[in-house]
A and B are shown apart, each in its own frame.
Chain A
Amino acid sequence: MPKIILVKDLVKEFSKRRAVNGISLEVEEGEIFGLIGPNGAGKTTTLRIIATIIKPTSGQVMVCGKDVAREASEVRRLISYLPEEAGAYQNLTGLEYLRFMASFYYGTEDEVKAALEEGIRISALGERLKEKSSAYSKGMKRRLQLARALMVKPKLAILDEPTSGLDVTHAFQLRRLIKEYAEKNRITVLLSSHNMLEVEKMCDRVAFINEGKVVESGHPDQLISKHGAETLEEAFMRVVGFA
């Protein structure tokens, strides 16, 4: 399997604080890979580096063989990033927003239209897409953002807390949508979450991150049995020494 993500000895420092302290991981094509860890563990910083928003202090990060620091513009053609609690432009309609974002990825109007149709289908917002996004509920905004991230069929979708702040029903629908869409289109997904159950159900492999380091990684079932736990949450707590 070709490697979509290769992270080696990644370090990121902000002033006097080391947010990421030597993370290494690999993600293969078509995998759904989850980063699990408490607040401040370095998940979002790692995702932002892979998404080319910020640069590593040291170490190497490659996406489809491209260096995120040196070849950022090539990497941006291959990825799609969904920040935690991302919003859309308040004065644009959902449809205008999807068209605006799709237009950056495609050269012809036909390609943009095809992506837009995909976005309309994924979002399942129907006629509401003609309304300004300021009128959307939190769940609708998240569906719009997910549609935006997936409609361009990226090689790698980076999703930071994709179901953050959603109720059980919306979160369930969104998880199913991500899994089905990724499998169908062979999209590699790198996601972060606090929700262990979510990760256990969705991810092919996971990495436990604590204090800026990967402390364990593997298939959820393997990790559960390796640490004699009943759930992934329990396995994580044992690994970080709280259980």
Chain B
Amino acid sequence: MPSGLRLLVIKEIKDLLRDPKILVGIIIFPALLLPLMGAAISVSTGSTIEKAYGNLSIYVVDDDGGPLSQRLLEYFNANYVEIRQLAGPPESSLGLLSGGDVLLHIPEGFSSNITGGNWSGVVMYINFKDFSMVEFIKSGRVDQILNSFDTELVRQIVSEEVPGKDPNSILNPIRQDYRSIVKGEAFRLSPAVLQTTVQMQTLMGPIVIMLVLILAMQIAATSIAIEKEAKTLETLLTVPVSRMSILFGKLAGSVTVALMATVANVFAFTYYIGAVLGSTGAATGDLGEAGLKLIPSPEGYLILGLSIFGALISALAIALTLGTLAQDVRGAQSIIGIVIVPVFLPAIFMMMGDLSALPQAMQILLYLIPFTYPALASQALITGNYGMSLIGLAYMAFFTLAMLYIAAKIFSSERIMTARISFKAKKAD
């Protein structure tokens, strides 16, 4: 590397990494945010399930006292639910209920109605205090046990009425079965189970990538504007070093910092996926039983890393090009404020729906935006469809070169000093 360029690269890296906004904003923030979110999801899901399922007890007002109400209470006991019997009208006992507590009222005639071939109601009182997940899970579990008891009773009645027949065949003559086809292979899984796992994994990737891209663009664009404002660029343009060295020094410095941000992001994303997969153990358990492994491959992470890096370089090239046209920091920030719209677009479309379902013109527009490809690569981690991601890498390389060519043209002319995109009045002489 020529000595002038080396000096500029070292200066640029030092200057950038010593800036707390950059160090925290694009390296430490994403490196901590994703693992923290993953850990939060893992811990909160785990503790919620533990709290909702462990030591569940319900209050019961049994005004029936017949054989079926006794059987129902035993059924609850058999499902590890402790029964606390109360007497009197249920409304008078509602004050006893804490958040998520359930009071079950079994009315008089419950047993006789059912054995006589009629239906009988039961009333569930659920006290919602803070509408937490635990409260909903508790009431859901009581509901589930009641439904299960109901099914058992129906089976018993059917087998008594139609002896010699399987009551399940009479009650459910049609049975649904699923074959979810993933990567060309059919797995015995319902789409609902698949959705639970995949959605959690693909949602966060585009959001974090978008945040990093926006920060990187702001840094690169304002770094030139800061040099213009502080007149350090004016000084640098008169020292014995080529203008191309100044441009590439700035790019290399930004790329180094961007590379650090990329590594931090990929590691953070890996941890996040691990944590999320662990917390959705029920769903992934079903996936495992069906023989489907959605753990991303090392190649997948490599392509994701390259796509994020490619998008960062493209973003930096755009930012540097536009940064050369801004006269001051405010001008640079305003320009980047407009340019970040195409950064948002792909992430929003990828989160809301399927790219291939969009009108063709919209699809072309999104494929022309280099920032679409990291979002595609984060989806490809799960789907394994790396085709578009690989094309995207080539496209991003072309896009970056074109942007750098424009930046080099501006840098080698006096437009670097005379360009005026500013919100301040022009200063004469």
Contacts and interface: CB of A to CB of B under 8 A. Distances in A.
Contact of B417 (A54, A103, A104): A54
Given A14-B418, A89-B11, A104 B4 contact: yes
A105 B234 contact: no
Interface residues of A, number: 42
B18 interface: yes
A105 B15 contact: no
A145 B235 CA distance: 10
Interface in B201-247: 226, 229-232, 234-235, 237-242
Contacts of B235: 81-83, 86, 101, 145, 148
A80 B428 CA distance: 23
B417 A48 contact: yes
A86 B429 contact: no
Nearest to B4: A104
B429 A44 contact: yes
Contacts of B226: 90
A33 B241 CA distance: 27
A193 interface: no
Interface string A22-57: 000000000000000001111111001001111100
Contacts of A52: 237-238
A90 B234 CA distance: 16
Contacts, number: 89
B11 A100 contact: yes
Interface string B11-34: 100111011000000000000000
A210 B229 CA distance: 27
A10 B425 CA distance: 27
Contact of A92 (B15, B234, B414, B428): B15
A82 B15 CA distance: 21
A62 interface: no
Nearest to B242: A73
A96 interface: yes
A54 B414 contact: yes
Given A83-B235, A86-B235, A88-B232, A55 B414 contact: yes
B18 A91 contact: yes
Interface in A72-116: 73, 76-77, 79-92, 96, 100-101, 103-105
Interface in B381-429: 414, 417-418, 428-429
A96 B15 CA distance: 11
A132 B20 CA distance: 14
B7 interface: yes
A46 to B, nearest CB: 10
A89 B232 contact: yes
Contacts of B417: 48, 53-54
Contacts of A129: none
B218 to A, nearest CB: 16
Contacts of B429: 19, 39-45
Given A19-B429, A42-B429, A105-B239, A53 B234 contact: yes
Contact of B232 (A87, A105, A132): A87
B231 A40 contact: no
Contact of B414 (A53, A88, A105, A148): A53
Contacts of B19: 90-91
A44 B429 CA distance: 6
B55 interface: no
Nearest to B227: A89
Contacts of B234: 48, 53, 81, 83, 86
Closest 10 CB pairs of A and B: A87-B230, A91-B18, A86-B231, A81-B238, A54-B414, A83-B231, A40-B429, A104-B239, A76-B240, A83-B234
Interface of A: 14, 19, 39-45, 48, 51-55, 73, 76-77, 79-92, 96, 100-101, 103-105, 132, 145, 148, 158
Interface of B: 3-4, 7, 11, 14-16, 18-19, 226, 229-232, 234-235, 237-242, 414, 417-418, 428-429
22 contacts: A19-B429, A40-B428, A44-B429, A52-B237, A53-B234, A53-B238, A54-B414, A76-B239, A76-B240, A84-B231, A87-B230, A89-B11, A89-B15, A89-B230, A90-B226, A91-B14, A91-B15, A100-B7, A103-B3, A104-B239, A105-B239, A145-B235
